[in-house]
Structure 1
């Protein structure tokens, strides 16, 4: 719920504090700007002319919900939530302090909800540019506030207000991460690594993972964030049927580029063993 994180949120126009009015049907800033809360419980915090793009479509969001809720990516989910718990414990944050977890590109809230369940008393801010995703994100956990925003236009939260930032297969804005992160806070990124879902690439024509992804992340973070330790590789096999494969591809950027996906999926075996590969990386402020 937005009320659980209202002290963290900021006016995207000028960074001033927000408060809920009219039974939290609107958020109003100290400088007089007003933002309507959608009936589904999320708020769009975008400066100027609003969002520059729509993010994932309703079909992609539905595919994501179908795939993730089946537990296929459970090792990824556990790794992210465990790393967030470790970050909170290492920072010495007492339970009564209600640590703030920000997930960028939070989608349906599947990862963030698991993290909030893992960390007693934690509060979550989930940000995604997709309103279709935000409708589910707002309902993902009672201690989660759902925000529609474009992180490249700025993250609408207060300076030094966030204990942990998680980014799961989503864009990164190191300058903004450094701004909103508290001293001693951490950024946890999960990024696909070379070979991720390789068994599906040739038959379905899905997009490959660049080999230099981690090095590019390090370059982008220079001056803002530095890597804490070495990236931790995560690799596991999944047994997927055709419906699960269609959902997995349907939730990814490849969904926009494959016009004949159902026909390609139909030609696959009834089940396939598919390997998931990623790196979990942790970052601290420079």
Structure 2
């Protein structure tokens, strides 16, 4: 829940948000001095999207289920560890982390575990536009605050409020990330590299990765950030057809594909399917 290490702002009036009530009730309601109040859903997340919500399409329940299935089998564990290793050195005296586009909370879980193991347990805020994803995130990361929010809008956090921002396969709002990061804080961004999952992509119709993607990332960040470090993370994968279907459906292709059609394309493909995940973990420092 919000405390001195995680100063939340009301999405309506931008005033400070605090816990309302006492005891167990304090964990269920956030309110500001102007009287705006937000109650947690029964699954444990909050919805800050008031009014018209967002024009962007959130991940569906089927996409989230595919992601949970795939990630729970440990295929991307090396990536989760790499993200956590990039975050922990930036944590200060009162550690706080923003996971922007938290999804099911898989990568934030690794960060929270690593920060606790280092003796610096962090307050955390996970943002996503999918309520289906946040139901899972709230279950996986009950100590974090999990909130439905559109990251293209001003973030519901005070200036200089977090030590690290993580963005794993999610939209990036450089100006807002720079605003909420404390001096010396770090932005950790994960992007796929050319050749990522190429065999599964060809079989299932997933989109390929542009050769210029890494250059465009640096250009998009350049107004607010300098590149601190960049490291590849390559993961060889041996997948069942079920794994491959989950992998295809858990990402953007899941918005326009269904399991029946993807499994039909994979029918008869020999198991295991051998492919490779190719990521770049880039750490940025605020200019």
Q: Same fold (TM over 0.5)?
A: yes
The aligned residue for residue 267 of structure 2 is 266
1:256 Cα offset (Å)? 2.4
- Which whole-Å deviations, capped at 9, do the CAs of 1:35-73 have from their partners, x for residues lacking one? 221111111112543233341000100111111111000
* Partner Cα distance (2:203, 2:223) in 1: 42
Q: 1:119 to 1:7 in 2, by over 3 A?
A: closer
User: Take 1:5 and 1:276, find their aligned partners in 2: how far apart are those partners?
Assistant: 39
Q: Which residue of 2 aligns with 1:138?
A: 138
Q: What is the deviation of 1:249?
A: 0.8
User: 42-51 vs 53-62, which deviates more?
Assistant: 42-51
1:109 to 92, 105, 108: 105
8 Å contact 1:5–1:145 — kept in the other structure?
no
Counterpart-to-counterpart distance in 1, 2:60 and 2:242: 19
Q: Specify the SS of the correspondent of 1:232.
A: strand
Deviation at 1:280, TM superposition (A): 0.6
Q: Is the CA contact (8 Å cut-off) linking 1:11 and 1:156 kept in structure 2?
A: yes
Please give the residue correspondences for 1:122-271 in structure 2 after superposition, counting only pairs within 5 Å: 122-229=122-229, 231-259=230-258, 260-271=261-272
TM score, norm. by length of structure 2 = 0.91
Stretches (4+) displaced over 3 A: 2-7
1:78-97 mapped onto 2 (5 Å cutoff): 78-88=81-91, 93-94=92-93, 97=94
Distance change in 2, residues 1:222/1:30 (3 Å): farther
Per-residue CA deviation, residues 105-125 of structure 1 (Å, 9 max, x unaligned), is 111111101110110211211
Shift of 1:268: 1.7
Q: Using the alignment, how far apart are the partners of 1:165 and 1:50 within structure 2?
A: 23
Q: How many angstroms apart in 1 are the aligned matches of 2:55 and 2:281?
A: 29
Alpha-carbon contact 1:4-1:145 (below 8 Å) kept: no
**What is the RMSD computed on CA atoms of the aligned residues?**
1.7
- 2: CA distance, partners of 1:192 / 1:7: 30
Unaligned runs of 5+ in 1: none
TM-score when normalising by structure 1: 0.92
Distance in 1 (CA, whole Å) between partners of 2:171 and 2:66 is 20
Q: Distance in 2 between matches of 1:161 and 1:134?
A: 22
- Provide structure 2 residue ranges, at least 5 long, that are not aligned to the other structure: none
> Are the equivalent residues in 2 in contact too, given 1:5–1:125 (CA < 8 A)?
no
Contact 1:232 1:280 in 2 (8 A): yes
